Structure 1
Amino acid sequence: MSLAAARDPFHSPHRLTNRLHTVLLLGGMIGLLAACGWIVAGPEGGLWALALGGISLAFAPRMSPQMVLGLYGAVPVHPWDLPNVVRVLNELAERAGLPAPPQLYWIPSPTLNAFAMGRPGDAAIAVTDGMIRSLTLRELSGVLAHEISHVRNGDLWLMGLADTVSRLTRMMSLFGQILLLFNLPLLLTGAVTIPWGLILLLVLAPTIGALLQLALSRTREYDADLGGALLTGDPMALAGALRKLERNGRGLWESLLMPGRRDPNPSLLRTHPPTEERIRRLAALSGQLDDGRIASAAGGHGPGSGRFREVQSRPRHRLTGLWY
């Protein structure tokens, strides 16, 4: 398979599978919202619930990326600050077909983290100081490709939609439970009958919606892993970064004394898929792609620190409520 063909999302059965999962999970969340509306107010209630979801999504205020980045103390990275990193970012954006390269930001934190914000034509990618200093340029290119894939795939909008539907489901469930309490005497006397299955669904709807939202997040992470690997032609670049992120997340003593310890959170409650499974999928792709890695990221040298001084302080909770 040529690299050009590999970059085409429709040449990958993995991507098609992920897209199908996304449609099913998002459809399940929307269907759950409509079901809650139907239980509360009948068929018209279901329609009103869907209409309310569409209106909320269209007119809900969105926090600008600059405001969020300001909460993290993020600083814009200029081409002369980290020339190798900016060069890689621009080439990845061109490969992804974005209208403009995302603006890169540096976050003064020793943690290993990166995230994307914005739309394809006006996106931002933030990378912590710890990430820049801990990863090689090759590994960092895999992380940047992963974040660019989120931007290209519209995952930021999609997860915003899922969050809106989840919030509306919780609101509808709470409203329905309040109505049940007011009508409890009628239910006990038999004047009004409501199947217990519907009552149980109304009570459990917020939990079911949250689980569907978490599952959707994991699906989008798999899709971004795949998209990033197709952009770089080097799946093991991201795999290497994930290994370092996993070790850094456990901490030194846990890595030495309990190297095989797994994430104690149940798989249903994780926003990200298990690291081992992500690495396994990336390794399975390594033999299927031509090595079209970016020339400047092919070596093992670090990306450099530019004008940024190393952050020595420990991560802590900030007045904004964020931890970095």
Structure 2
Amino acid sequence: MKNHLRTFTLLAAMTALFLGVGYVVGGSMGMIIAFVLAAAMNLVSYWNADKIVLAMYRATEVDAGHPEPLVRNYVADVLALAARANMPAPKVYVIDQDQPNAFATGRDPAHAAVAATRGLLGMLDRREIRGVMAHELAHVKHRDTLTMTITATIAGAIGMLANFAFLFGGRDEEGRPTGIVGMLVMMIVAPMAAAVVQMAISRGREYEADREGAELSGDPQALASALQKIDAYARGGYFNPDAERNPATAHMFIINPLAGRGTDNLFSTHPSTENRVRALLGMSGRERVAAAPRATAVPRTETRRIGPWS
């Protein structure tokens, strides 16, 4: 409940910031236009965000009849976890990327999808994969996927409005120009503030999904181990080119796919992996954090190529 209240408060703050920028751009009418624009953008995101992001990563839908055993196990575990959580079965996808990672998308549990990279299926063991997918299903159950889509949309719109104000000038309630200094401040500060709020929401939802995912899978140690491995590989040279080209989607993944990032600070989309692992091991009664595996533990030449992507 505490985390949900915090998320709601941060969303309200981001919406207020968006309306404030609209007011600076055009007074009361600007604020109304900003509200209508936000509603329209969120409506488009609500219906189409999942299709857009799955197409962006060229994800391929798979099912229980897939010829590759690793994929069949992956699908079976997702369906079993969804049933345990009393959720509709999501669509299941595989992304043809070496970097081990995963994300969930969809506007609600009845229209959800989970996606894992080929690297995740080839480099993690089945317990760890199950832990990762339990984490993603926790996001789906609490509609975090929709929340993060909305925050990303509003953050982008704030930046767009701020740039618009800088180019065309802002007006106060009496129609007087706000001045170049005010425009510069807004152009820099407003998008930065929106990004900070967006990332704070993302970090809070990751901690909550870790906790609920560990409870759903019944194996917090497996999720902790998976997080360490994914983080080590991402930092060790297993890049995700699609994520690098679309950094605005980084918050969707279980571990930041952008190489060398992900520390626990104002400008990170994810909490530090060490903090997440410590919290998970605390759930299992263990206090000591195991050392992260070396990124070279599974050389590229030994990464299994599965499915129709061979």
Which TM bucket (shorter chain)? 0.7 to 0.9
Q: 1:276 aligns with which of 243, 266, 274?
A: 274
**Aligned sequence identity (%):** 35
Q: What is the one-letter code of the residue matched to 1:109? A: Q
Change over 3 Å in CA distance of 1:243–1:35 after alignment to 2:
same
Deviations 1:23-67 (A, max 9, x none): 122111111111112223334433432232113322468546456
Q: Distance in 1 between matches of 2:92 and 2:30?
A: 45
Whether the 8 Å contact between 2:166 and 2:183 is mirrored in structure 1 is no
SS at match of 2:266: helix
In 2: Cα distance, 1:91 partner to 1:221 partner: 22
Distance in 2 between the 1:71 and 1:49 partners?
28
From 143, 146, 149, the counterpart of 2:138:
149
1:228-280 Cα shifts (integer Å, max 9, x gaps) = 1121122112101011112212228xxxxxxxxx8586722221111001111
Shift of the alpha carbon at 1:309? 5.5
Q: Distance in 2 between matches of 1:167 and 1:64?
A: 14
Separation in 1, partners of 2:51, 2:261: 33
Amino acid at match of 1:248: Y
Alpha-carbon distance between aligned partners in 2 of 1:64 and 1:25, rounded to the nearest angstrom: 21
2:26 touches 2:170 (CA, 8 Å); kept in 1?
no
Q: For residue 86 of structure 1, what is the aligned residue in structure 2?
A: 75
Q: Distance in 1 between matches of 2:178 and 2:90?
A: 56
The answer to whether the 8 A contact 1:18-1:222 is kept is: no
Matched with 2:94 is 106
Distance (Å, rounded) in 1 between the aligned partners of 2:184 and 2:51: 43
Counterpart for residue 125 of structure 1: 114
Matches within 5 A, 1:1-324: 16-59=1-44, 63=48, 65=50, 68-81=53-66, 82-98=71-87, 100-118=88-106, 119-180=108-169, 200-201=185-186, 203-251=188-236, 263=261, 267-287=265-285, 308=306
Partners of 1:310 and 1:110 in 2: CA distance: 15
Q: Which amino acid aligns with 2:75?
A: V
Give the superposition deviation at 1:307: 9.8
Distance change in 2, residues 1:116/1:177 (3 Å):
same
Residue 73 of structure 1: CA displacement?
Answer: 4.3
Separation in structure 2 between the aligned mates of residue 78 and residue 221 of structure 1, nearest angstrom: 27
Alpha carbons of 1:203 and 1:131: their partners in 2 closer, same or farther (altered >3 Å)? closer
Q: 1:201 Cα deviation (Å)?
A: 4.1
Amino acid aligned to 2:192:
T
Structure 2 distance, partners of 1:23, 1:195, is 34
Q: Which has the larger radius of gyration?
A: 1
Q: CA RMSD in A?
A: 3.5
Unmatched 5+ residue regions in structure 2?
Answer: 238-259, 287-302
In the aligned structure 2, how far is the partner of 1:68 from the partner of 1:181? 34
Check the 8 A contact 2:25/2:171 in 1, yes or no. Answer: no
Shift of 1:160: 1.5
Structure 1, 46-55 or 27-36: larger mean CA deviation? 46-55
1:93 maps to amino acid = A
Contact 2:24 2:171 survives alignment (8 Å): no
| Cα distance in structure 1, aligned partners of 2:85 and 2:179 | 52
- Taking a change above 3 Å as real, the CA distance of residues 229 and 71 of structure 1, as seen in their structure-2 partners, is same
Instruction: Give, in whole Å, the separation in 2 of the partners of 1:49 and 1:165.
Output: 10
Amino acid at match of 1:280: R
C-alpha offsets along residues 103-123 of structure 1, whole Å, 9 cap, x if unaligned? 222233322011222231132
Query: d(CA) in 2 for partners of 1:199 and 1:133?
Result: 49
SS in 1 for 2:233: helix
**Cα distance change on mapping 1:154 and 1:264 into 2, 3 Å:** closer
- The 3 A distance-change label for structure 1 pair 181 and 27 is closer
Partner amino acid, structure 2, of 1:53 = A
Alignment-mate amino acid for residue 120 of structure 1:
P
Q: Quick one: distance in 1 between partners of 2:199 and 2:219?
A: 28
Structure with larger RCO (C-alpha < 8 A, sep 6+): 1
AA in 2 matched with 1:17:
K
- Give 3-state SS (helix, strand or coil) of 1:33's partner: helix
1:271 alignment partner, SS class: coil
Distance (Å, rounded) in 2 between the aligned partners of 1:207 and 1:178: 18
| TM-score between both structures, scaled by the size of structure 2 | 0.73
